[in-house]
A and B are shown apart, each in its own frame.
Chain A
Amino acid sequence: MPEFQTHQYDVVVIGAGGAGLRAAIAASAAGATVGVICKSLLGKAHTVMAEGGIAAALANVDDRDTSRVHFADTMRGGQYLNNWRMAELHAEEAPDRVRELEGWGAVFDRTPDGRILQRNFGGHAYPRLAHVGDRTGLELIRTLQDHGIHQGIDFHMECTVTTLLKREGRVIGAFVYDRERGRFQVFEAKAVIMATGGIGRAFRVTSNSWEYTGDGHSLAYHAGAQLIDMEFVQFHPTGMVWPPSVSGLLVTEGVRGEGGVLRNSEGRRFMFDDIPDLYKDQTAATEEEGWRYTQGDRDARRPPELLTRDHVARCILREVREGRGSPHGGVFLDIAWIKERLPHAAEHIKKKLPSMYHQFKQLADIDITKEPMEVGPTTHYAMGGIRVDAETQMATVPGLFAAGECAAGLHGANRLGGNSLSDLLVFGERAGRHAAAFATEHPTASVDAGDLEAAGEAALAPFGRAGQGESPYDIERDLQDTMQDLVGIVRTESEMTAAQERLTDLRRRTREVGVTGNREYNPGWHTALDLDNLLTVAEAVAKAALARRESRGAHFRSDYPDKDPAAGRYNQILERAADGTMTLSRAPIPEMRPDLKQVIEEMG
């Protein structure tokens, strides 16, 4: 048997975005030895791209805000499929997690009295998002990184996990290759935390970075963990649509929070045309009222541009499909118009939305202080993921924990903007703390030599087909096209069935994939190994979406366009059966605690 470099830790964290770093810091603070494995360099994870802010009921801007309101907003946004206990913990703990960041050096924008400033965002009743211009994610990850490097945590950069190791039903480690040399390494751990983020790379148009290939979802699934809510994929309403090479790149909701409006080719603010009943009472009746809301008028209601993301995305798609789109197949997002209302509007826009200004200027030759942007929906976030215990974040397999986007439950059928950064912090901290506790109660188990040999052979198999197998890039592209075209924003049974057939064929082709070159920093090989993860999450999304015969939150079926009250009483669970097939079952949503029910009733 070949020798592998072996590392031993109490807790191994896979992923170094916000959730992974926060988990590592918490586990280390609880006394555990911690190793972090990340596919990229430290500080580059997808969290850097988060723009708008961190949702937390600090009540610095509007003193009517409380964690109870935040809880109710999160549940309404998730169409009540959320794990209500997670939504409660999240709302209660987010303010402490934000304040703690400031103690580690984060610098947020300020209120006139020197507190952390908060901004409006879709689905949040009050200004709730702590932010730094439109680069909040960078601030968050850099703060955690610069704090984390002094906590005695080992970082293993540019390393990828190919399989989780198990013994007697418990996860005990991970099998890893390093990108630089392509050498295999074994990580032995008493507890493993998944913090790998999302699945956006399974679609052609996405705001996600290359790392988002569903690794955590897939690794956990193959280790026997349950996945939940996989049908719910959030399409952010505003991605760039031109030039083609940047299509999908995110345009922050903060643009609309600062007064940006959506118009079709006829110049009409079409968002006023369709306001869901659930939000009628909270939505501005006139353009004037909407504008006042964005400028902090407490008596005004929010403009319809700030309705939940799923709804805004579908309205944009409707305008485009009915021929009222922009030249490159989107709609217009206009922030420049505020010059009619504000003196020095151009400076104001550059100050509030510096990255957006920069991004459009540099990549599209558009000055957003003078002209409208063209935007359209882009794959943004997976509400679904590894099913976890609300308190501890442990998956359904002992020894495995999950936090952040790869875990599920908090967001239900649709996530509110700003709730992902707070999710990372709250549940990252919980996962780290509880994984460290788990580690004190469980010994290191020795890994099975046969498992290691099998993992190594599987990882090297594509080299055996060098020169004859299919290119991994071709398979990846076909998979992205399949999901984009057949399991996208608007879904229907016939298309999803066709998608499943194509995925089966892609699975066959993946077994024939070949890579050229050697093991040293070989992206062709890395892409080949990512394919299995992409396929697993694609299959999960398609299967769950086909089975949910209703439209709810981010999941929209043209053949079942209405909400089905009966379908609002369960989550869908995916699991790997003994024969290797993916099975789907329903888990009834537990009865909500009476005091929480009351909160929701009070909040209307």
Chain B
Amino acid sequence: MREATFELWRGDKNGGRFESYTTMVSGGMVVLDAVKQIQAEHANDLAVRWNCKAGKCGSCSAEINGRPRLMCMTRMSALPAGETIMVQPMKAFPLIRDLVTDVSWNYRVKKTIKPFTPRPPDNEDGSWNMAQEDADRVMEFRKCVECFLCQDVCHVLREHQLYDEFAGPRLMVYVAALEMHPLDTANRLDELRKAHGIGYCNITKCCTTVCPEDITITDNAIIPLKERVVDRAYDPLGRLIRALTGDA
């Protein structure tokens, strides 16, 4: 056990500051353990959002020493010993209080994306046949725990605040999971280009580097979607064929 010093952001939408706390930690602990310990020992009303403490629910997103991470999956031993640990709320979302932000925007945007639309069932019992390799294509995207760290780090949202123009990496992954779903029949490419602003992504791959589920967001989700959008919107032959066949 050793003593560790934390600087935790305390405040609300009207302003705030870092406050310093010390607590005893051991190498097996994660940052969320230490934050909860500080809450129980020194700051009962410290606002922090967490649920499973197992990296599965994606609730405890924060910026630890400036890097977007899940507090429950960041081990104390992975941080430089003896140095003060800074924990602050995600910057890309409005602050509610202390370490808790208002992430409701993500839920509102998700609702604007066309839902899953399966082809008719293959079998009489209402089931479908699907090869494992086809299922595997979307498994990576379906691992997403909706921690919104990719949204937090995306400069289109974080720096430029284009919340009305760009749906952000999380929702690009969501669209990719639908578009590449072996059973899905809907087409989301026009919305991707217009309402969801896929063109704003300029492939800096920041989202991929912070993903706690190691989803290769840019390469596997966004770039293939960009290619599909380009094919649909700008390939003259394809447009002609669609016009003739009545496929809007």
Chain A residues within 8 Å of B, Cβ to Cβ: 40-46, 48-49, 96, 99-100, 102-105, 107-110, 112-117, 132-133, 135, 137-139, 142, 146-147, 149-150, 157, 180, 209-211, 242-246, 249-250, 355, 358-359, 362-364, 471-474, 477, 515-518, 520-525
Contact = CB atoms under 8 A, between A and B. Distances in A.
Contacts of B125: 99
A359 B44 contact: no
Interface stretch (B16-24, B54-62, B149-157, B236-244): B54-62
Contacts of B128: 102
Nearest to B178: A105
Contact of A520 (B12, B102, B118): B12
B50 A42 contact: no
B145 interface: yes
A524 B55 CA distance: 23
**B interface, over-half SS:** loop
A114 B131 contact: yes
Interface of B: 12, 26-30, 33, 39-40, 44-59, 73, 75, 96-98, 100, 102-104, 107, 110-111, 115-116, 118, 121, 125-132, 135, 138-139, 142-143, 145-146, 178, 181-184
Given A105-B116, A110-B135, A525-B45, A246 B59 contact: no
B47 A521 contact: yes
B100 A521 contact: yes
Given A99-B125, A243-B29, A516-B45, A521 B59 contact: no
Contact of B39 (A132, A146, A523): A523
Contacts of B98: 521
B47 A522 contact: yes
B46 to A, nearest CB: 7
A243 B139 contact: no
Contact of A44 (B12, B59, B127, B135): B59
A323 to B, nearest CB: 24
A73 B55 CA distance: 33
A517 to B, nearest CB: 3
B138 A521 contact: no
Contacts of A132: 139, 142
A116 B53 CA distance: 30
Given A103-B118, A114-B130, A157-B104, 17 more contacts: A43-B146, A45-B57, A48-B52, A99-B127, A100-B126, A103-B121, A104-B116, A105-B178, A107-B138, A132-B142, A138-B145, A209-B51, A209-B57, A245-B26, A245-B29, A249-B53, A363-B30
A67 B49 CA distance: 41
Given A471-B40, A517-B45, A246 B139 contact: no
Given A150-B115, A243-B28, A473 B39 contact: yes
B19 to A, nearest CB: 13
A289 B30 CA distance: 41
A417 B208 CA distance: 35
B57 A49 contact: yes
Contacts of B48: 523
A48 B115 contact: no
B103 to A, nearest CB: 7
Across the A-B interface, the 8 shortest Cβ-Cβ residue pairs:
A243-B28, A517-B45, A524-B44, A114-B129, A105-B116, A473-B40, A521-B47, A44-B57
A602 to B, nearest CB: 25
Nearest to A95: B125
